[in-house]
Amino acid sequence: MKLLLDENLSDRIISQIVDLYPDSVHVKTLGLINTDDVIIWDYAKVNDFVIASKDSDFHQRSLLYGHPPKFIYLRIGNSPTYKIVQILRDNFGIIRQFVSSEVESILVLA
């Protein structure tokens, strides 16, 4: 299970979750900063990533197109990096179940 973190999340999160989410990356690492959401969506789909973002545009896209890719919607407003790391770590079991689900496309975490 690997996450693709959108640009509205800090790239410093990756080093703090890689033990639970190996091969996860940030869009910055892939050179996808300021890239259209469609390109990020397609990249995640082709490369088997789960998108994690605070961007409601991905939420809309997920409702419209379903999965893949799966989408984790972090409805947390302006939160410090440590809080986002805590949410991703504390919800690992829930995220794992979500990724395994045949029917679910969106997981909302707050």
Q: What is the pLDDT of residues 13-52, one digit of tens each?
A: 999 999 999 999 999 999 999 999 999 999 999 999 999 9
Query: What's this model's pTM, rounded to 2 decimal places?
Result: 0.94
Q: Which two tokens stand for residue 87?
A: 């949410």
What is the domain extent for residue 47?
3-109
Q: Check residue 78 and give its pLDDT.
A: 87
20-50: b (≥16 Cβ within 10 Å) or e: ebeebbbbeeeebeeeeeeebbebbeeeebb
Q: How many domains does the chain have?
A: 1
Mean pLDDT of the chain: 95
Least confident of 4-18, 20-34, 55-69: 55-69
Calpha distance 104→23 (Å, rounded): 22
Most confident of 56-60, 76-80, 90-94: 90-94
58 by Cβ neighbours in 10 Å (0-12 / 13-18 / 19+) ranks as: buried
Q: Check residue 77 and give its pLDDT.
A: 84
Q: Which two tokens stand for residue 104?
A: 């679910």
Average pLDDT over residues 78-95: 96
Calpha distance 72→38 (Å, rounded): 16
Phi/psi at 7 (5° precision): -65, -15
Beta-bridge mates of residue 53: 73
